[in-house]
Amino acid sequence: MARWVTERDRRLAALDLEKAKATSDIGIKGGIQRFDQGDDTAFILGLSIPIPLFNRNQGNIREAIYRLAKTEQEHKAAKIQVAAAVADAVPRLSSSSSEITALREEVLPAAQSTFDAAREGYEQGKFGYLDVLDAQRTLFEVRGKYIEALATHHKARADVERLIGRSLESLNGQTEAKNQLGANYHGE
């Protein structure tokens, strides 16, 4: 977003330059002239004031105005793209956080205890080896899902931080984080 401020300033400077080119420069000339007949010398002074009847640089001024307007429209489009990206990343961050919590606090412990019980039951002769392998496969699948959820969470977090231009830790409290995300979503 900071790039657009610089680009707008550059376009405004180009417009000012084209407007300055539209005004003509007044010229003053002076000098000494010697006449061949009679050894006379004279001081000559000249003043030129161009009258811009035909070339007032209107085409270049219009072009600069259109480029400035184009830059402002591109800036608005960039704001909308950022808002859409934030609107996409924030729900991914929230859902991945919920998924991580559920996997870590409920599913992983349950899968681990099932595997431990199956292994202990196998050692006591209550379960077959396939039951232990099935419990182990389930535990590994849950761990894989947990790792995938962590990766999704960290990617979504990095996307949100990139879009808002600061780390989430730098925002004071959850309420301020939500307000900041809402402000960025609305293009402020």
Closest CA to 17 of 60, 55, 59, 50: 60
Please state the rounded mean pLDDT for residues 136-160.
94
Output the CA–CA distances (angstroms, integers) from residue 154 to 82, 94, 179, in the order listed: 19, 11, 21
Q: What is the pLDDT of residues 107-124, one digit of tens each?
A: 999 999 999 999 999 999
Please state the rounded mean pLDDT for residues 48-60.
73
Report the predicted TM-score, pTM, of the whole model to 2 decimal places: 0.56
Q: How many helices (H) and strands (E) does the chain have?
A: 5, 2
Supply the pLDDT for residue 182.
53
- Two tokens, residue 94: 């929230």
User: What is the rounded distance in angstroms from the CA atom of residue 6 to the CA atom of residue 28?
Assistant: 38
Supply the pLDDT for residue 179.
54
| Range in 14-23, 89-98, 109-118 the model is least confident about | 14-23
Confidence of residue 145 (pLDDT cuts 50, 70, 90): very high
